[in-house]
Amino acid sequence: MNAPTLRNSPNLEPFFMPFTANRQFKADPRLIKAAEGMYYTTIDDRKVIDGSAGLWCVNAGHGRKKIAEAVAKQLAELDYAPSFQMGHPLAFEFAERLVELSPEGLDHVFYTNSGSESVDTALKIALAYHRARGEGTRTRLIGRERGYHGVGFGGITVGGIVGNRRVFPQLPGADHLRHTHDLARNAFTRGQPEHGAELADDLERLVALHGAETIAAVIVEPMAGSTGVLISPKGYLERLRAICDKHGILLIFDEVITGFGRLGTPFASQYFGVKPDIFTTAKGITNGVIPMGAVFCDRGIYDGIMKGPENLIEFAHGYTYSGHPVACAAGLATLDIYAEEGLLTRGAELAPYWEDALHALKGLPNVIDIRNIGLVGAVELAPRAGAPGTRAYDVMVDCFRRDAVVRVTGDIIAMSPPLIAEKSHIDALVGSLADALKRVA
């Protein structure tokens, strides 16, 4: 299908686009001008279903008037207030509302502006905690292969995506667990894979190599979204939690994607029944309307850092826009919508239908695996010889040119529709992907 000719399109050249093949995109752009509910409107006036909730963030769907009105009201009342040595009521109210949703004991919130900032903040909290309790030798950070933890230097250090790491230097003193993706044993699994719990024992190998007294924290995604919906095997997170406890290592969950209802519970830790010491959020915290993130930490960690003279700053870290009043207003309105419409658990209601719809794609051309959990799914394709990634990219473009937006990472198509989706939307989204898989060789 030929690319449409777009009239009145903007000059594309000045914008240095993030995580985009700039030259490829600008030769054949995909431009969106409006959004409402489950749909985007393209610059050539086509309605396309949003199969990825923006970038995993628009959980309550697009164009929510309640959030827009809260933002407008807050802008008129208080557009900005600093969070350094000052405060404003909404930041405290929002924090209180957030911890009502979190696992018991994870009752302190540090505000950021993105998932990347949340990760770097969580890592710094872990380091500060160990130092405050007299274990300053614990400086080593452990990530996982095929993990994505944002683009700060801390995030790429513990992250495990080669393309994000190869150009940039990383922080010293980090290491990585093996990833859990086992296509040979777990292909076409529904929900958590049966095989792979033993991969958590890789942490014991790193403890033996480096010494527990040097390791501050382990950070993992309960479900690795950006590298293709890699789901923790049964028993894996429980085993990792036990090993961390054994050696005094903090366990950090990166819930930037899984937070706020994506798996059918407020947070993935509640879905898996494993409690971290710290977890990161962003994306769905404001329904993607305004950049914001939050790091949740255990009361014992917060109390452990609150040392020294009371007039001194206990944690020398923060951002100009931490707890921005407009972002807090957007977040409070978002939480209201989640509560009023039951969206933080709606993914659990839709999950069985979503699972069956996805797995019906088995047997279509080049499909080598299908994975799902909550309202997230992935279809992995066999790569073209000598041209990895091109097949899935062509499927993504084909979907967009017709009627759907899906995510692509390597040769994996990932989908995570807004939590307001109906069964008819699931049918339309999966049907669009099925047609594209048949068309793209």
pLDDT band at residue 1 using 50, 70 and 90 as cut-offs: very low
Whether pLDDT at 133 is above 70: yes
SS3 category, 350? helix
Q: What is the mean pLDDT of the chain?
A: 96
Pairing outcome for strands 47-50 and 404-405: parallel
CA atoms within 13 A on the CB side of 156: 13
pLDDT for position 8: 63
Q: Are 197 and 239 in contact (CB under 8 A)?
A: yes
pTM of the predicted model as reported, rounded to 2 decimal places: 0.96
Whole-number Cα distances in Å, 425 to 53, 403, 418, 430: 13, 11, 10, 9
pLDDT tens digit sequence for 137-184: 999 999 999 999 999 999 999 999 999 999 999 999 999 999 999 999
Q: Mean pLDDT throughout 395-410?
A: 96
Residue 105 burial (CB < 10 Å; 0-12/13-18/19+)?
middle
